Amino acid sequence: NAGVTQTPKFQVLKTGQSMTLQCAQDMNHNSMYWYRQDPGMGLRLIYYSASEGTTDKGEVPNGYNVSRLNKREFSLRLESAAPSQTSVYFCASSDRRQGNYGYTFGSGTRLTVV
């Protein structure tokens, strides 16, 4: 009954540090997504994975990389964090083939880069 699980919930990084945000879903969904949420900007797509083994850039991919480790897990990596990457990051999953057009979101990771 977990849905989409994101870790960590909070993180403070220094400029230039790297980190990986983890995401796992237990709904057997085919597609997974990473969004960032900033005030007044809504949710902007960073990267997505339509299916296991594929990844594609979204609207704001610069400074990020992703890995679709398996069907359950989709990680987001910041190689050299910058203050502009301070944001709340959400992972989501869906599967239109199952009739799940709507996303299931995780609870988010609040990242601060100082």
Partner 1 sequence: QQQVKQSPQSLIVQKGGISIINCAYENTAFDYFPWYQQFPGKGPALLIAIRPDVSEKKEGRFTISFNKSAKQFSLHIMDSQPGDSATYFCAASPHGSSNTGKLIFGQGTTLQVKP
In the complex, the residues that contact partner 1 under the rule CB under 8 A are 4, 31, 33, 35, 40-45, 48, 50-51, 56, 58-59, 90, 92, 94-96, 101-108
Cβ 34 vs Cβ 91: under 8 Å: yes
Least distance in angstroms from the C-beta of 13 to partner 1: 20
Nearer to partner 1, 17 or 100 (CB): 100
Least distance in angstroms from the C-beta of 4 to partner 1: 8
Nearest CA among 70, 77, 107, 79 for reference residue 91: 107
Q: How far apart (Å, rounded) are the C-alpha atoms in residues 32 and 23?
A: 9
Q: Which residues of 20-32 are buried (b: 16+ CB within 10 A; e: fewer)?
A: ebbbbbeeebbbb
Least distance in angstroms from the C-beta of 61 to partner 1: 13
Nearer to partner 1, 17 or 58 (CB): 58
